[in-house]
Amino acid sequence: MRFRSDPVRYIRGSIAPVVTPFTDDGSLDIDGLADLIRWQLESGSHGISLGGSTGEPSAQSTAERKAAIDAAAEVIADKVPFLPGTGSASLQETLELTTHAQAAGADAALVITPYYARPTQEGLYQWYVTVARQVPDLPILIYNVPSRTAVDIAPGTVSRLRKSCSNIVGVKETTTDFQHFSLVMNAVGRDVIMLSGIELLCLPLLALGGSGFVSATANIAPTATAQMYEFWAGGEHDKARDLHYGLHPLVELTFTETNPGPVKWVLHQAGLIASACVRPPLTVPGAGAIERMKQLLNDGRRVLNAPMGR
């Protein structure tokens, strides 16, 4: 939690949203999660998240999500910022998980907009105020992903929340409406932590003054994804663009079928997790998808990490 005191300074770069490994029978694989996080740290990721869309949170119990947070915090051990996802469709569960993340030593919490209910902007405002005031010492990042939640938090609502709660410090925007990024930063202030959750908008966001990204593709190419940020921050823009385009095949692979099915298949094939199991209603990729994924792996081989060859 050493990064908690100054999140705007420290929460930057490639925050890897790790998958949640399960065993073949669908049980939570805590040891596998710990190994996966160690590999991410060795590969150069600038931060770790879990429990977002890539982590299948809605298919887990609250107890499982808490156990995953605890295991991750122990492995990360203040080496990089830790941003667990703690939101759900239930306010009580969101408060419970966010409070647990704070106690576990998280540096910030990613809180998804409540899904299924389709709340108004006033409903979203009240929701986030309640969460933020429950944990006033924990930085909160709003997680906006309208393709999954059917609600889009407006720039004005984010601005209102930032003024009301000093610990609401940023947004993870997972929307293909690129102007939305700019509108939020203009409304809230450019000192806001702005992270992209859309893979092909990770690099473009940096040109607007974004802080970094939470890219599912970092699960299979963590070093290249992290270096893309480092090159841009270091002024080597051509090198950053080269990695952006080099990652295109792996971005397509990630979403060949519903994420994280394809990512887990790749990690399993590489020996980085023991099983490619995803929980219902998701399924492992079908034969046709696997053939396409093999081709995309080949197309993206120049940006894959050396450990992926194991």
Tell me what pLDDT residue 1 has: 77
Q: Please, are residues 16 and 221 in contact by the beta-carbon 8 Å criterion? A: no
- Give the CA count within 13 Å in the CB-facing half-sphere of 63: 2
- CA–CA separation, 6 and 96 (whole Å): 24
Q: Please, are residues 211 and 227 in contact by the beta-carbon 8 Å criterion? A: no
pLDDT band at 241 (very low <50, low <70, confident <90, very high): very high
- CA–CA separation, 152 and 165 (whole Å): 20
Looking at every residue in the chain, the average pLDDT score rounds to 96
Task: Please give the share of the chain, as a percent, with pLDDT higher than 90.
Answer: 97
Which has the closest alpha carbon to 87: 36, 148, 28?
A: 148
Which has the closest alpha carbon to 121: 143, 87, 153?
A: 153
- CA–CA separation, 3 and 67 (whole Å): 22
- List, for residues 83-93, the tens digit of each pLDDT value: 999 999 999 99
Q: What is the separation, in whole angstroms, between the first and last Cα of the chain?
A: 33
Q: Structural domain tally of the chain?
A: 1
Q: Identify whether 116 is a catalytic site residue.
A: no
- CA–CA separation, 286 and 73 (whole Å): 34
Q: Identify whether 143 is a catalytic site residue.
A: yes
The residue from 10, 66, 128, 172 that is catalytic is: 172
Judge whether 280 lies within some domain.
no
Judge whether 296 lies within some domain.
no
Which has the closest alpha carbon to 86: 36, 143, 26, 144?
A: 143
Going from the C-alpha of 302 to that of each of 223, 273, 286, 299, 306, the distances in angstroms are 12, 22, 26, 8, 10
* Cα torsion angle, 8, 263, 100, 60, sign: positive
Judge whether 94 lies within some domain.
yes
Q: Which DSSP category does 22 fall into?
A: B
Tell me what pLDDT residue 124 has: 98
Judge whether 227 lies within some domain.
yes
Task: Give the H or E element holding residue 171.
Answer: strand 168-173
Judge whether 201 lies within some domain.
yes
- List, for residues 138-153, the tens digit of each pLDDT value: 999 999 999 999 999 9
DSSP string, 220-283: T-HHHHHHHHHHHHTT-HHHHHHHHHHTHHHHHHHTSSSTTHHHHHHHHHTTSSS-----TT--
Instruction: Reply yes or no on whether the pLDDT at 309 is more than 60.
Output: no
Judge whether 239 lies within some domain.
no
Q: Are strands 47-50 and 82-84 parallel, antiparallel or unpaired?
A: parallel
- Whether residue 260 has a cis bond before it, omega within 30° of 0: yes
The β-bridge partners of 140 are: 109, 168
Mean pLDDT on 56-75: 98
The residue from 10, 125, 143, 229 that is catalytic is: 143
- List, for residues 30-65, the tens digit of each pLDDT value: 999 999 999 999 999 999 999 999 999 999 999 999
What CATH number corresponds to the domain at position 105? 3.20.20.70
Q: Please, are residues 147 and 179 in contact by the beta-carbon 8 Å criterion? A: no
- Whether residue 81 has a cis bond before it, omega within 30° of 0: no
pTM metric for this prediction:
0.95
pLDDT band at 304 (very low <50, low <70, confident <90, very high): confident
- What ranges in the chain are assigned the alpha helix state H? 7-10, 30-42, 62-76, 91-104, 121-134, 146-149, 155-164, 178-188, 202-207, 222-233, 237-246, 248-254, 261-269, 287-299
Instruction: Reply yes or no on whether the pLDDT at 162 is more than 90.
Output: yes
Tell me what pLDDT residue 306 has: 42
- List, for residues 177-231, the tens digit of each pLDDT value: 999 999 999 999 989 999 999 999 999 999 999 999 999 999 999 999 999 999 9
Provide the residue range defining the domain that includes 202.
7-234
Tell me what pLDDT residue 305 has: 62
- CA–CA separation, 228 and 160 (whole Å): 33
Judge whether 112 lies within some domain.
yes
Tell me what pLDDT residue 310 has: 31
Judge whether 97 lies within some domain.
yes
pLDDT band at 2 (very low <50, low <70, confident <90, very high): confident
Tell me what pLDDT residue 308 has: 45
Task: Give the H or E element holding residue 142.
Answer: strand 140-144
